[in-house]
Amino acid sequence: MTFRLSCHPDTPTDTVHGVEVKHEWKSRDTLWLRYFVDCPVDRLFIPGPAEPERMDDLWHSTCFELFLREPGAAPYYEFNFSPSSRWAAYGFTHFREGAHDLAVPSDPAIAPLDAGDSYFALEVDVTLPPDRIYPAMLAAISAIIVDADGNKTYWGYRHPEGKPEFHHADCFAARLTPPEAA
């Protein structure tokens, strides 16, 4: 299934023409994602390769995100994936409250960047914690794209009213169903 992201109206861009995210369950606990950005690559700021490691504040640069929660529940968790191969995972008890590093069974596997003159794509396999896999999962799928001039655009499957805010409940509009629950 493919989710088409839209640019937040407060952060328009002529550089990025679209962002799509494909997903597929590789197993009950492992989700494959492919973030595809339609744009002239030479007009973007893409972090250079680095050692894969957990790191905070990845959203200050081009970064891809996935938020997940159980329908009707307040707690949620967030993954950040950088083209550099760095990543982050956080748990929250409520909207932007109770933030903590989320224990994950294994580091997300971020594939080397796939890019051409007019696109780039990032693929990642993320293994979810066993206690965070629900029969139905609501997802907020998003991307922060920074252009070569340092302008930041915010892309999401859904946006709430007001400023860009991917943690907002309105953003959890995509439904992901693990294989055993299908």
Give per-residue pLDDT as tens, 75-97. 999 999 999 999 999 999 999 99
Tokens of 51: 């050692």
Model confidence at 182: pLDDT above 60: no
Q: What is the pLDDT of residues 29-73, one digit of tens each?
A: 999 999 999 999 999 999 999 999 999 999 999 999 999 999 999
Split into its structural domains, the chain has a count of 1
> Distance of CA 79 to CAs 5, 17, 159, Å?
17, 24, 18
Q: Any idea what the CATH number is for the domain that residue 154 is in?
A: 2.60.40.1190
What gap in Å lies between CA 130 and CA 110, rounded to an integer?
A: 20
Give the range of the structural domain holding residue 63, as residue numbers without chain letter: 2-181
Q: Is residue 145 within 8 Å of 75, Cβ to Cβ?
A: no
pLDDT value of position 114: 87
What gap in Å lies between CA 64 and CA 35, rounded to an integer?
A: 7
Q: What percent of the chain has pLDDT over 70?
A: 99
Beta pairing class for 76-81 and 114-116: unpaired
As a whole number, mean pLDDT of residues 121-146 equals 94
Tokens of 116: 């051409």
